[in-house]
Amino acid sequence: MNTTNFCFDKTISKAAPIPATQRFGVMSRKLLATCAMIGLVGSFSTNVLTAQESASNTTSVPQPIVIDGTGPGWKELGESDFTRANCDPETWIWEGSLVKSTGKPVGVLRSTKSYKNFEMVARWRHLSKGGNSGFFVWTPMEALEGLVPNRLPSAGIEVQVLDHGYTEQYESSSGKKGDWFTTNGDIFPVGKSKLKPFAPLSPDGSRSFPRSKHSLGTPNWNHYYVRAINGEIRLWVNGHEVSGGNQAEPSQGFLCLEAEGAPVEFENIRIRELP
For the chain, the average pLDDT equals 84
- DSSP assignment string, the chain: ------S--TTGGGSPP--HHHHHTT--HHHHHHHHHHHHHHHHGGGS--HHHHHHHHTSPPPP------STT-EE--GGGEEESSS-TTTEEEETTEEEE---SSEEEEEEEEESSEEEEEEEEESSTT-EEEEEEEE-GGGTTTPPTT---SEEEEEEEE-THHHHHHHHHH-S---S--SS--EEEEET-EEEEPSSB-TTS-SB--SS-----TTS-EEEEEEEETTEEEEEETTEEEEEEEEEES--EEEEEEE-SS-EEEEEEEEEE--
- Asked if residue 44 has pLDDT above 60, the reply is no
Going along the chain from its start, the domains and CATH numbers come out as 12-58 (no CATH), 75-273 (2.60.120.560)
Q: Tens digits of per-residue pLDDT, 86-137?
A: 999 999 999 999 999 999 999 999 999 999 999 999 999 999 999 999 999 9
Q: pLDDT band for position 62 (50/70/90)?
A: confident
Per-residue pLDDT at 255: 98
Query: Rounded to two decimals, what is the model's pTM?
Result: 0.78
- pLDDT, tens only, 172-202: 999 999 999 999 999 999 999 999 999 999 9
Name the band, by pLDDT with cuts 50, 70 and 90, for residue 63. confident
